[in-house]
Amino acid sequence: MADKLHFSLVTPEREVVSGEVDQVVVPGTEGDFGVLPEHAPLMSTIRPGWLTVIEGSDETKIVIRGGFAEVTPEGLTVLAEEAAVASELNADEIAQAIQNAREDAADADTDKQRETAQDRLEYLLVLQEAAKAA
């Protein structure tokens, strides 16, 4: 019986995390859910937010945006468009990016563009919060 969960977090550019952990809490579109070893197969989309990796008494917080989580008997795979480990964030850069995203949202011509900009803004706000906490 596997008592560890195989977890990997992948973004288009690289594999951010890959390894055996105790538990992962994923921000699903319909609410956060925790994944323990031997979880039933599940597919869920994710919303911008915190993903928490629990390993022993350590907790790593990762901010993710856009994508998808899949649980199979082999483990949990999260495909995210963007991911940032909370302790590696730079508050100034985020503030700048938020500024840009706000302007984008205001300048958007179509609903679709506005939606994208809004989505991005939401993600950045979560990032900012994360940076403050770290």
Partner 1 sequence: MASLKDLRNRISSVKSTQKITKAMQMVAAAKLRKAQDAAEAARPYSKNMARVVANLSASMAGQPGAPELLIGTGQSETHLLIVMTADRGLCGGFNTNIVRKARERIVELQREGKTVKIMTIGRKGADQLRRLYGDLIVEKISLRDKKEIDAGIAIDLGKKITDMFEAGEFDVATMFFAEFKNVLTQVPTGKTIIPAAESLSDDEAAEAPDLKGAVYIYEPGQEEILEELLPRYINSQIFFTLLENAAGEQGARMSAMDNATRNAGELIDDLTMDYNRSRQAKITTELIEIISGAEAL
User: Residues near 95 by Cβ (< 8 Å), separated by ≥ 6?
Assistant: 128
Task: Choose which of 12, 56, 57, 88 interacts with partner 1 (CB under 8 A).
Answer: 12
How far, in Å, CA of 28 to CA of 14, rounded?
A: 22
40 binds partner 1, rule: CB under 8 A: yes
Cβ nearer to partner 1, comparing 52 with 77: 77
How far, in Å, CA of 109 to CA of 120, rounded?
A: 16
CB of 82 to partner 1, least distance (A): 8
Q: Are 86 and 62 in contact (CB under 8 A)?
A: yes
Size of the site for partner 1 (CB under 8 A): 29
Q: Are 23 and 34 in contact (CB under 8 A)?
A: yes
Cβ nearer to partner 1, comparing 15 with 58: 15
For 97-113, b where at least 16 C-beta lie within 10 A, e where not — what string?
bbeebeebbeeeeeeee
Bridge partners, 132 (sequence order): none
CB of 95 to partner 1, least distance (A): 20
CB of 12 to partner 1, least distance (A): 4
77 binds partner 1, rule: CB under 8 A: yes
92 binds partner 1, rule: CB under 8 A: no
Where along the sequence are the contacts to partner 1 (CB under 8 A)?
A: 8, 10-15, 28-30, 33, 40-45, 66-68, 70, 72-74, 77, 79, 81, 112, 116
